[in-house]
Amino acid sequence: MRSFALSAVLVVTLASGGSLWTADQVASQPSRADESKGTNVLVVGIDRRAGMSAEEIKRLHVGGKGCDCTDVMMLVHIAEDGGRMTAVSIPRDSYVEFADHAHPRHSGKINAAFAHGGGDLTVRTVEKVTGLKIDHYLETDFTGFVNAVDRLGGAKVCTDKPLVDLGSGLNLPVGTSVLDGRRALRYVRARHLSPPGDLGRVRRQQRLLIDMLSRLREEGAFASATATARTALALHEFVRTDGDTSLADLAHLGSMLGRLNANQTEFATVPISDFDFRTPHWGSALLWDTERSAALWELLREDRSILDDTRIRPSKDVPVEIPPEWIHVRVTDPEVADALQAGGFVIEGGSGQAGAPRPEGPTVITYDPYWERYAATVKAAIPGAELRPVAGHGSVFDVAVGSKAASVVKVVYDRSSVEGAPVTGDRLRCGITE
């Protein structure tokens, strides 16, 4: 089982160009968490610019001061029988209590554990807050990621709206794009998109990872011993391993990777209860949802799927980022208006006449572009409706109900599930909509 666990480490290494160490290398001490079924791998990306030239920093668009902290953190769980891999992203601003180290006991953002105590403290802190034993630890950096993506022939990503983020330098058009290493780095680092923050960012990281892994498998990168050896050899210069892992071992591990289809992988983000938790020394942070996150880690300890457990996604209603109670709408059809009001929306006057014929075509939601994030909540409540942004429209949304079906569904404010709900990897690939 341990060799299969290492194959999962190779999976992520192939996609990220990281450095590979086992957890025993990071800290040679007794287990710091309860034993659990399956194998757990902690994958981190470090925000570090030491050793990079000014030209390289500019080329990769990673200016500013590095924090020497973890910029990306993903816990990968491999089932005992090797038939499932679950990857849970841990947002960098998660507010947790650090494991014991040289400083007095304290809490902070989880990304700072690395700055306080390197990979050792990072591993022990994750073990402390999840109750999971970390079997292996993987660390990557900007340059390794870029080189690996380039060596693999790029990364395919897709979007239904332009993605522009000045902070990371990302500028992607609508549709499908094949990115080189530099542009892929901008894609996975972008934070100033809609919705802003870490949840959309980590979902993009998950999308890029599953598309790269699936493409490798489909192109036969692990179809035979020869193909696997060729893939491992091509990437070997970007992968530092522990002393017990040779190039031949990497080739063998890669062949084991080829057994997993995208639908045998699961992706999620730790459920969050407060996205603006004010801390005394760390500013705004993310606070985990105590019950839902505990249920998530329990499922991994028990080596079970995270997809359908209602404790993680407690409601069957459609999750939205903005509460319906914050949104004022005018509706041309009184029945639809009543249904929206029952769902929490604030209904303004002028709802039309009961039984009046509906105009041909779909329902149209007209709104000012300033309220784009709010528009997503209205559209989620009326499946099939079209959004029509009109500058200067004001703060009230107008819903013109058309002849096509205009059923209203119940939405629930659950920002954590908008981008972070558990899904199978095939749902994240290009050409698939959630």
Claim to verify: residue 337 and residue 295 sit in the same structural domain: no
pLDDT number for residue 330: 95
Report pTM.
Answer: 0.82
Alpha helices in 18-177 (DSSP H): 23-26, 54-60, 113-130, 142-151
Claim to verify: residue 290 and residue 384 sit in the same structural domain: no
Is position 350 within any domain? yes
Beta-carbon contacts of residue 204 (< 8 Å; ≥ 6 apart): 157, 187, 188, 190
Claim to verify: residue 170 and residue 102 sit in the same structural domain: yes
Is position 432 within any domain? no
Q: Please, are residues 18 and 139 in contact by the beta-carbon 8 Å criterion?
A: yes
Question: Which among 238, 65, 89 is positioned nearest to 149, based on CA atoms?
Answer: 238
Claim to verify: residue 329 and residue 275 sit in the same structural domain: no
Claim to verify: residue 207 and residue 291 sit in the same structural domain: yes
Using alpha carbons, list the distances in angstroms from residue 128 to 32, 65, 121, 132, 206: 7, 29, 10, 8, 24
Q: Is the peptide bond before 195 cis (omega within 30 degrees of 0)?
A: yes
Is position 263 within any domain? yes
Residue 32: CATH number of its domain: 3.40.630.190
Claim to verify: residue 228 and residue 340 sit in the same structural domain: no
For the chain, how many structural domains are there in total? 2
Claim to verify: residue 58 and residue 107 sit in the same structural domain: yes
Is position 237 within any domain? yes
Is position 80 within any domain? yes
pLDDT number for residue 434: 40
Claim to verify: residue 271 and residue 381 sit in the same structural domain: no
Q: Please, are residues 9 and 21 in contact by the beta-carbon 8 Å criterion?
A: no
Is position 250 within any domain? yes
Is position 433 within any domain? no
**Rounded Cα distance, 216 and 15, in Å:** 10
Query: The domain containing residue 106 runs over which residues?
Result: 2-312+418-427
**Rounded Cα distance, 382 and 362, in Å:** 11
pLDDT number for residue 128: 96
pLDDT number for residue 232: 66
Claim to verify: residue 59 and residue 186 sit in the same structural domain: yes
Claim to verify: residue 301 and residue 337 sit in the same structural domain: no
Is position 434 within any domain? no
pLDDT number for residue 375: 96
Claim to verify: residue 130 and residue 225 sit in the same structural domain: yes
Q: Could you report the average pLDDT of every consecutive run of 10 residues in the chain (434 residues)?
A: 36 40 39 66 79 80 74 88 89 93 85 88 94 83 81 86 88 92 90 79 88 80 74 62 47 59 91 92 93 96 93 85 96 93 91 66 94 95 94 95 86 91 89 50
Claim to verify: residue 407 and residue 423 sit in the same structural domain: no
